[in-house]
Amino acid sequence: MSTLAARYRALVCDLDGVVYRGPSAVPHAVEALSALDRPVVYATNNASRRPADVAQHLTDLGLECAPEDVVTSSQAAAWLLGEAGTEPGARVLAVGGAGVADALGEAGFTAVRRVGEGAVAAVVQGYGPDVTAADLAEAAYAVEDGARWVATNTDATLPTDRGVAPGNGSLVGAVARAVGHEPDDVAGKPRPPLYLLAARRLGLEAPQVLAVGDRLDTDIEGAVSAGAESLLVLTGVDDLDAVLAAPASRRPTWVAPDLRWLHDAPEDGETSLAALADAVRAVHEAHDAGDAARAEGLADVARHLLERMADR
pLDDT in tens, 94-110: 999 999 999 999 999 99
pLDDT at 131: 94
pLDDT at 270: 74
pLDDT at 162: 80
Average pLDDT over every residue of 78-87:
95
Average pLDDT over every residue of 7-15:
97
pLDDT at 163: 78
pLDDT at 1: 61
Composition of the chain by helix, strand, coil, percent to 5: 45, 20, 40
From the list 222, 217, 216, the residue with the least C-alpha distance to 71 is 222
Residues 6 or more apart whose CB falls under 8 angstroms from that of 207 comprise 227, 228, 229
Residue 4 has pLDDT above 70, yes or no: yes
Query: Of the listed 14, 135, 214, 219, which one is catalytic?
Result: 14
pLDDT at 111: 96
pLDDT at 282: 97
pLDDT at 237: 87
pLDDT at 165: 83
14 in catalytic set: yes
pLDDT at 311: 74
CA geometry: angle 9, 204, 82, nearest 5 deg = 150
pLDDT at 117: 72
Residue 192 has pLDDT above 90, yes or no: yes
Residue 260 has pLDDT above 80, yes or no: yes
Residue 161 has pLDDT above 70, yes or no: no
Average pLDDT over every residue of 284-291:
96
Residue 160 has pLDDT above 80, yes or no: no
Residue 157 has pLDDT above 90, yes or no: no
pLDDT grade for 145, boundaries at 50, 70 and 90: very high
Helices (H) and strands (E) in the chain, counts: 11, 15
Average pLDDT over every residue of 283-310:
95
Q: Where is average pLDDT lowest: 64-78, 131-145, 146-160, 165-179? A: 146-160
Paired with 11 in beta bridges are 40, 210
Average pLDDT over every residue of 258-264:
96
CB atoms within 10 A of CB 212: 28
pLDDT grade for 164, boundaries at 50, 70 and 90: confident
137-171 burial: b if 16+ Cβ within 10 Å, else e:
ebbbbbbeeebbbbbbbbbeebeeeeeeeebbbeb
Q: Where is average pLDDT lowest: 36-45, 70-79, 113-122, 130-139? A: 113-122
Average pLDDT over every residue of 157-169:
80
Long-range contacts of 113-116 (CB under 8 A, 24+ apart): 113/138, 114/138, 115/141, 115/142, 115/145
| pTM recorded for the entire structure | 0.92
Query: Of the listed 16, 69, 102, 238, which one is catalytic?
Result: 16
60 in catalytic set: no
Residue 188 has pLDDT above 80, yes or no: yes
Average pLDDT over every residue of 52-64:
96
